[in-house]
């Protein structure tokens, strides 16, 4: 029976899904969140039957404060001893300049990537403080280190998460809580399909001519971060495909 508890936001696809798969095999019971309830149910059944862990699925839209608070506060007492929070749920919506971008896309990104992360952390971090232990991993991006044209708000949200994480690290240090940011370059997940509203051809072009990172690569990186000795924290980790040297420079064959 697994011993530790992790909460992963956005576990129905991509990085969150692969991380759930790996942590289930590495001593974690998991609280898994997302809007797509059916996917959460399938994942729960798979992980419990294959790896003998316990899964507590939570189906809510992280943009909606009341929904997020209600879902997280409904977590049973025995599940509140959360050792690890992975703030992963996020998206890019559209790729357009400030003068013509869709304002609703901006709101979706800010509400999910920044406000959703804050709502979640606001509820879970006091539980960690009470136990004087915990680890919070925030998934930022190369877009949190550089800004690229037509990505002002996505880049802005990831820069915001990087800044918020730095303050969190200082605030939570006295309680022995580690805060890590992981900033990936291009990862082949549903990310681009979501960004381009289901346009598979356009999404595929993002990863054309080079080998992108996979969700599994990021899951393994998370496991590396978690496997450091108790006195060591990886503050910030930038991980890129070999054929990507910046947010905009790719070696496409
Ligand atoms: P995916 O689209 O594959 O997965 C995104 C996950 O976030 C899904 O599980 C989705 O669940 C969840 N999510 C999105 N919006 C909401 C919402 N409103 N409420 C609840 N859950 C939500 O993308 P990735 O796995 O690639 O993205 C994970 C994180 O990694 C994001 O923060 C992204 O910004 C970041 N990232 C991604 C990179 C990439 O190239 N792919 C690179 C750098 C960072 P559901 O739809 O079921 O709600
Ligand atoms: C996702 C990577 O460069 O497409 O965060 O914004 S990028």
Domains located in the chain, CATH noted: 4-239 (3.40.50.720)
C-alpha 39 chain-centroid distance: 17
**113-143: pLDDT as tens digits:** 999 999 999 999 999 999 999 999 999 999 9
- Can you tell me which atom of ligand 2 is nearest the CA of 151? 6
Instruction: Collapse the DSSP code of 87 into the 3-class scheme (helix H, G, I; strand E, B; otherwise coil) and give the result.
Output: strand
Instruction: Collapse the DSSP code of 120 into the 3-class scheme (helix H, G, I; strand E, B; otherwise coil) and give the result.
Output: helix
Is 207 noted as a catalytic residue in this protein?
Answer: no
**152-171: pLDDT as tens digits:** 999 999 999 999 999 999 99
Q: Give me the percent of the chain exceeding a pLDDT of 70.
A: 99
**Across 14-25, average pLDDT:** 98
- Which residue has the least CA distance to atom 31 on ligand 1? 90
**Across 187-195, average pLDDT:** 98
pTM for the structure as a whole: 0.99
Give the pLDDT confidence score for residue 1 in this predicted structure.
67
- Can you tell me which atom of ligand 2 is nearest the CA of 186? 2
Q: Quote helix, strand, coil % in the chain, to nearest 5.
A: 45, 20, 35
Give the pLDDT confidence score for residue 190 in this predicted structure.
98
What is the Cα Rg of the chain in Å?
A: 17
């Amino acid at each position: 029976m697994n011993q530790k508890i992790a909460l992963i936001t956005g576990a129905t696809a991509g990085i969150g899904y692969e991380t759930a798969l790996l942590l289930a095999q590495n001593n974690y019971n998991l609280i898994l969140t997302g809007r797509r309830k059916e996917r959460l149910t399938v994942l729960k059944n798979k992980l419990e039957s294959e790896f003998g862990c316990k899964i507590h699925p939570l189906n809510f839209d992280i943009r909606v404060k009341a929904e997020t608070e209600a879902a997280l506060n409904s977590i049973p007492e025995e599940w509140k001893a959360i050792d690890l929070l992975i703030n992963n749920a996020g998206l890019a919506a559209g790729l357009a300049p400030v003068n013509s971008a869709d304002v609703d896309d901006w709101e979706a990104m800010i509400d999910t990537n920044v406000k959703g992360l804050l709502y979640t952390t606001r509820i879970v971090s006091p539980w960690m403080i009470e136990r004087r232990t915990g680890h919070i991993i925030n998934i930022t991006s190369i877009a949190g280190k550089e800004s690229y044209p037509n990505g002002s708000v996505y880049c802005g949200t990831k820069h915001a998460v990087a800044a918020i994480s730095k303050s969190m690290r200082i605030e939570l240090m006295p309680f022995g809580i580690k805060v890590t940011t992981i900033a990936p370059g291009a990862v082949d997940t549903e990310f681009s399909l979501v960004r381009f509203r289901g346009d598979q051809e356009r999404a595929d072009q993002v990863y054309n001519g080079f080998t992108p990172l996979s969700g599994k690569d990021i899951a393994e990186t998370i496991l590396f971060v978690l496997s450091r000795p108790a006195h060591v924290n990886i503050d910030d980790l930038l991980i890129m495909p070999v054929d990507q040297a910046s947010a905009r420079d790719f070696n496409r064959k």
